[in-house]
C-alpha cells in the first residue's frame, strides 16, 4: 500500500526473517512482491531510536540510521500500553494507536483499522 503511493519502504525486523509464521505460499508471494517493488528489508536488526525524520537501528553490532518521513510500527500481538505513544507524541511526532494496542479485537478488525489508518495519512 505505501509503496504503491510512491514511498520508499524499509522494514526493520528483529528476527532473522520477515513473517516466519505466515503461511509459506503467502509468505513467498509477499517477499517476491517486496523484492519486485524495491522494499528494503533489514533482518536481525533492532530499532534503537526514532526521531523526527530519522530512525536509528542496530544490525550486526553496528549502528545505522535512515532518513524517514513516516514510521509505521508493528510491535506484535500484545498491547504495550501507551508509553511509546506519549514519548513519540511528546517529541512532536504524529502518532496513533490502533489494533490490539488500543483494545483487544478480532484480526480482521485490526487489519481494517490499520488499512484505514494508512489510507488517512498523506504519504
List of domains in the chain: 1-71 (3.50.50.60), 72-123 (no CATH)
Q: For position 46, what pLDDT does the model report?
A: 93
| CA proximity to 73, closest of 88, 63, 58, 59 | 88
Do 89 and 95 touch, CB atoms closer than 8 A?
A: yes
pLDDT band at 76 (very low <50, low <70, confident <90, very high): low
pTM above 0.75, yes or no: no
Question: Per-residue pLDDT tens for 5-37?
Answer: 788 999 999 999 998 888 889 889 989 999 999
Do 19 and 30 touch, CB atoms closer than 8 A?
A: yes
Amino acid at each position: 500500500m505505501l509503496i504503491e503511493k510512491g514511498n520508499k519502504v524499509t522494514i526493520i525486523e528483529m528476527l532473522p526473517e520477515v513473517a516466519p509464521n505466515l503461511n509459506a505460499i503467502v509468505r513467498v508471494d509477499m517477499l517476491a512482491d517486496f523484492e519486485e517493488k524495491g522494499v528494503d528489508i533489514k533482518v536481525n536488526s533492532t530499532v534503537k531510536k526514532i526521531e523526527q525524520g530519522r530512525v536509528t537501528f542496530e544490525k550486526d553490532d553496528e549502528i545505522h540510521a535512515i532518513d524517514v518521513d513516516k514510521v509505521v510500527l508493528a510491535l506484535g500481538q500484545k498491547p504495550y500500553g501507551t508509553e511509546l505513544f506519549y514519548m513519540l507524541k511528546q517529541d512532536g511526532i504524529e502518532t496513533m494507536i490502533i489494533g490490539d494496542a488500543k483494545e483487544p479485537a478480532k484480526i480482521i478488525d485490526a487489519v481494517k483499522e490499520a488499512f484505514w489508518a494508512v489510507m488517512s495519512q498523506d504519504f
